[in-house]
Amino acid sequence: MARATPLPAAGDTLVRLLGVSKTYAQPDGYDIRVLEDITLDFHPGEFVALLGPSGSGKSTLLRIVTGLQEPSYGTVLYRGRPVTGPNLKAAMVFQSFALYPWLTVAQNVELGLAAKGVPAAVRRERTSRLVELIGLDGYEDAFPKELSGGMRQRVGFARALAVEPELLCMDEPFSALDFLTAENLRSELLDLWLDQKIPTQSILMVTHGIEEAVFMADRIVILSKNPARVVADLSVPLPHPRNRKAPEFTQLVDQVYKVVTGWDETPEARQEEARAEAAGERPRLKPLPSGHLSMLTGLLELVADRGGRDDLYRLGSELLLEVDDLLPVTDTAELFHLAEVQEGDLILTDLGRQFCEAENPERHAIIHAELMHIPIFRLILRVLDSKANRSMVKEFFNDILEEHFSVNDAEAQLRTAIYWGRYADLFHYDPDTETLYLPEPDPEDEASSAPG
Amino acid sequence: MNTSGTTALGYSWADLIVGGALLAALAGLLTLITHHAAFAPESGSVSLAWSNLPLDALFSWLRMLAAYVLSLGFAVVYAYQAAFNSRAERYLIPILDVLQSIPILSFLPAVLLLFIALFPGSSLGPNLASVVLIFTSQVWNMVFGLYNGFITIPQDLRETARSLGLTRWQRFRTLELPYAMHGLVWNSMMSWAGGWFFLMAAEMFSLGNKSYQLQGLGTFLQTAANQGNWLAEWLGLATLVAVIVLMDQLVFRPVLAWSEKFKMETVGGEPARSAVLRVVRRSALLAAFSDRVWAPISEWSDRRFRPRARRRPRPAIASGLGLLRTLLVGASVVAAVAVFRDAVHLLSTAWPAWRMVLLATGATLARVAISLAISVGWTVPVGVAVGLNRRLAQKLTPLIQIAASVPATALFPSVVALLLHLEGGLNVSAIVLMVLGTQWYILFNVIAGASAIPEDLKEASRLFHLDGWQKWRTLILPAIYPYLITGLITASGGAWNASIVAEYVSFQGHVHHVFGVGCLISQSALDGHFGLLLLSTASLAATVVLVNRLVWRRLYREAADRYSLQ
């Protein structure tokens, strides 16, 4: 089903991305690339979902499409014209709603019209029509603080639609809402879109929910991580209204799951790795997944109870976890050789079974042994071991990690490393002095390892 | 609502350059003016008649208002530039750091001479000088408050404005100013308090052998103290407190309650309420005003500030901004030359003068430290007791607020009268003034911290039978620590400023002074020893900036990282 989109004639494209890349400059000169050579076309009449793991740069891509950010390389064309600065034909809906709390609902909705210089009377007329369409009538004079999350996002939609955008961009618009509210809002938006009650020509939605993407979109573009590349571009041929229980639906979701869970094994990524190795470059540290160890234990035990193999999509929906929350945990399981992901299934390894049957001390020992193979931990231990006082300030490791990751990521990586290291009793950490240190091995050794 | 502590900036060489440039500019102005000024001091006899009090209060209030309006305009322009022009930010924030640590009296000679030179023989000169002096005691924390507001606007709100295509003016009107509004209101209240504190210094001053007295409450109070007329003194004080309480009830409470709507979320705590605001909001007059006047003005301003179709680029000098930039560059060159000249001049100052200034700074530093220690000593137990007991807090808060609103400088003459005859009396009274002026910042913060301790933590400590010292050590002190630091930062700034009036007192016709940098500044400002004034101001400013950077900012960051309950 995956197809590489051929580039159609420019006449029927709304947005064209040509080799768009984005790098963030770091103070130390190691730039972090978040988007890598993305070439995509969006057409009028399309509802496209951009799907990718968190931190994959999909929100950045959306901001580049709307002109809120500039690409480092490459071009964005809107109806054949290069985009420079915010594109006023595009409107944005935010995950956090981004309403102005000091303006009433009506004033919030009018904001874009006021910016265009629309006279007050026309503004009021259009706003009241829209407020009714979005189901906000009666709330015109309310302040956002007084509204529930769902109502707030309705205001967000109304504000975006008020300027009658050709392109509606949505950045995870439903993820801050509870399940029922989100579902309700999804179908209402689909109704507006499918019945053409709004003059919007194309919708672009960033999401990490696979089901959401399959439920709403006509086309799903799947992005990888570190940096984001397009790994798949699928069309969703299901007619609306879509039934989540229908076999075609679940089949498609499963298919997307397979692509998504295999996204770090793209041919490009493997090629790059092989190239770097061949060129004898200093190996880059691989990022640690941010999986919580208690969640890891719980998940493994659950799979063990089910015979050591289970479908990830089913596990996710049972545990009410989006793939975004689940993947760091399965990545952690794979890193520790406790389980493997194959064809969208999570399969326990022998070590994984042993881990599940073990008591706490033995579990710690297993993790301890696994950590000894991971470069970051080997590095930390080597440093601590070579110091006479067997301790080292956190900044030192932070500086090392910042050569491999962005400043924020480096901090997160070190946090995970410290968390795991403490769990496995690999080293200790004193938050007061912000020092990592090794516990005193034996009393008689003390003389030789006295602080120097 | 602290000021300097929240702006996270590292050390920077810009501090040095900027500090030098400012001092040089001050010096340049001084020399320029002293060389051609011939002015007639305006001094009249001050009447202590009670019937004058309302008019005195009105004059003082008008001066405060004028200074506040000036501060507001300055703060908006300055903070906007600092927040949204990253090239300007690098210089503007260090400049601000230095400026806010320069005490009001150091500006006195330059400001006074300038305005008297501009309006010779007119009472306008000293009046404008007074307004500008009050301005220098009001403006800095407003700039910091606005700047902090501007730079913390969330990314998504800014993106909304850009993607909807709001013009720069609309962005300012609908996003930037509203976002910073709550902080601005708080800082305005603090600025007014700061203005009252220095009212006496700003209304009655002398330069060389000429003295100026402007009709107002500050002059009234000081004259009454000088003549030892205690009845008049207390009447003046009562009038001052009445004005302050009225301002609080009729202006600040309603405005604060109104500004609640600009907060992002109402997180805990009672929202401020005001009966006055409710009445105003319900009045038909206001509704008519907002429909007929405010809305059309907003519409008009949107049209007015709409960027027109691209104009041909004009030479830099022709556009307002370009002109300003050229002027700034010119001024920096002049300042740089002056820095060099003054550096030579200062270095040639005899070593004894240097030694004296440094010793004096040390003496004042010791007084500041002692006064902070005393303030902490009594405010922490009291503040915790009040903060943990809701009913007590409700009863005491209005009383504390009134007590806090009395400018310590107004009480000072009475304190001096009491302590003057004791051994080391002025030393003690200087510290007492510092305590009086600064303890409230700490008290309010401690109360806020203690009342913010979550109920579950209190229950847990009750469950474990933590009593006495253990409870203080494990629960109360860690919980109030960030608040305590915030209060201390503000208090320390206030104590340094107070040293100017605390160490040099003219009272019942005699001048009493105690060795310290504040005394040196007052003395040299009044005697016209500009070299010494410059030297001691530089020493004071450098010490304040250093203490801020080395002590307070570190403690603040540690408090925010470790002890914050979020």
pLDDT digits (tens, 9 = 90+) for A182-204: 888 999 999 999 998 888 999 99
Phi, psi of B207 (to 5 degrees): -140, 125
Residues of B in contact with A431 (CB under 8 A): 562
Give residue A151's Cα distance to chain centre.
25
Indicate whether B1 pLDDT > 50. Answer: no
SS (H, E, C) A310-368: EEHHHHHHHCCCCHHHHHHHHHHHHHCCCEEEECCEEEECHHHHHHHHCCHHHHHHHHH
Give residue B539's Cα distance to chain centre.
20
pLDDT bin (cut points 50, 70, 90) of residue B477 is confident
Residues of B in contact with A98 (CB under 8 A): 154, 156-157, 159-160
pLDDT in tens, B191-205: 888 888 888 888 887
Average pLDDT over every residue of B420-430: 79
- Residue in B523, B484, B518 with CA at minimum distance from that of residue B502: B518
Cβ A252 vs Cβ A243: under 8 Å:
no
Residues of A in contact with B185 (CB under 8 A): none
Residues of A in contact with B266 (CB under 8 A): 145
Q: How far apart are CA A446 and CA B231, in angstroms?
A: 76
**CA separation, residue B146 to residues A319, B180, B191, B255, B307 (Å):** 46, 6, 13, 16, 25
pLDDT, residue A375, reads 84
Q: What is the pTM of this model?
A: 0.75
**How many angstroms separate the CA of residue B164 from the nearest CA in chain A?**
5
**CA separation, residue A3 to residues A58, A207, A222, A231, B465 (Å):** 20, 20, 12, 10, 68
Cβ A321 vs Cβ A366: under 8 Å:
no
pLDDT bin (cut points 50, 70, 90) of residue A241 is confident
pLDDT bin (cut points 50, 70, 90) of residue A50 is very high
- Residue in A202, A190, A268, A192 with CA at minimum distance from that of residue A50: A202
pLDDT, residue B168, reads 87
pLDDT in tens, A59-76: 899 999 999 999 999 999
pLDDT, residue B207, reads 72
Range among A257-266, B14-23, B64-73, B402-411 with highest mean pLDDT value: B64-73
The strand order across the sheet containing A81-82 reads: A32-42, A15-24, A73-78, A81-82
Tell whether B184 is within 8 A of chain A (Cβ).
no
pLDDT bin (cut points 50, 70, 90) of residue A271 is low
Number of other CB atoms surrounding residue A361 within 10 Å: 8
pLDDT bin (cut points 50, 70, 90) of residue B12 is low
Q: Largest alpha-carbon pair distance within chain A?
A: 87
SS (H, E, C) B23-59: HHHHHHHHHHHHHHCCCCCCCCCCCCCHHHHHHHHHH
The larger pLDDT score, comparing residue B416 to residue B10, is at B416
- Residue in B100, B126, B109, B110 with CA at minimum distance from that of residue B42: B126
Q: What is the mean pLDDT of chain B?
A: 79
Q: From the CA atom positions of chain A, what is the Rg in Å? A: 25
pLDDT in tens, A365-423: 898 888 888 888 888 888 888 888 888 888 888 888 887 777 778 888 888 899 888 88
pLDDT, residue A159, reads 92
pLDDT, residue B389, reads 81
* Pairing verdict, β A81-82 and A73-78: antiparallel
Residue numbers of A between 57 and 86 with CB closer than 8 Å to B? 63, 66, 68, 86
pLDDT in tens, B147-178: 988 988 888 899 999 999 888 889 998 999 99
Q: Do B170 and A92 touch (CB under 8 A)?
A: no
Residue with tokens 């009044």: B526
Cβ B221 vs Cβ B214: under 8 Å:
no
Residues of A in contact with B160 (CB under 8 A): 92, 94, 98, 100, 111, 159
Tell whether A163 is within 8 A of chain B (Cβ).
yes
pLDDT in tens, B323-380: 666 666 666 666 667 656 666 666 666 667 788 888 999 999 999 999 999 999 999 9
Q: How far apart are CA B452 and CA A363, in angstroms?
A: 41
Average pLDDT over every residue of A89-94: 92
The larger pLDDT score, comparing residue A256 to residue A323, is at A256
By C-alpha distance, the chain B residue nearest A91 is B163
**How many angstroms separate the CA of residue B261 from the nearest CA in chain A?**
5
The CA-to-CA distance between both ends of chain A, in Å, stands at 65
Give the rounded percent of residues in chain B with a pLDDT score beyond 90: 11
Average pLDDT over every residue of B444-450: 84
ipTM above 0.85, yes or no: no
pLDDT in tens, A320-373: 777 777 888 888 888 888 988 887 788 899 998 999 888 888 888 898 888 888
Average pLDDT over every residue of B406-418: 80
- Residue in A399, A394, A433 with CA at minimum distance from that of residue A415: A394
Question: Most A CBs within 10 Å: which of B160, B259, B557, as the mutation test of the A interface?
Answer: B160
Number of other CB atoms surrounding residue B561 within 10 Å: 11
- Using alpha carbons only, what angle is made at residue A160 by residues A158 and A162, rounded to the nearest 5 degrees? 65
3-state class (DSSP) for residue A205:
strand
Indicate whether A105 pLDDT > 90. Answer: yes
Indicate whether B6 pLDDT > 60. Answer: no
Question: Considering Cα of B392, then B393, then B395, then B400, what sign does the dihedral take?
Answer: positive
Q: Do B156 and A68 touch (CB under 8 A)?
A: no
**Which tokens in the block code for residue A261?**
């869970």
pLDDT, residue B76, reads 93
Residue type, B283: S
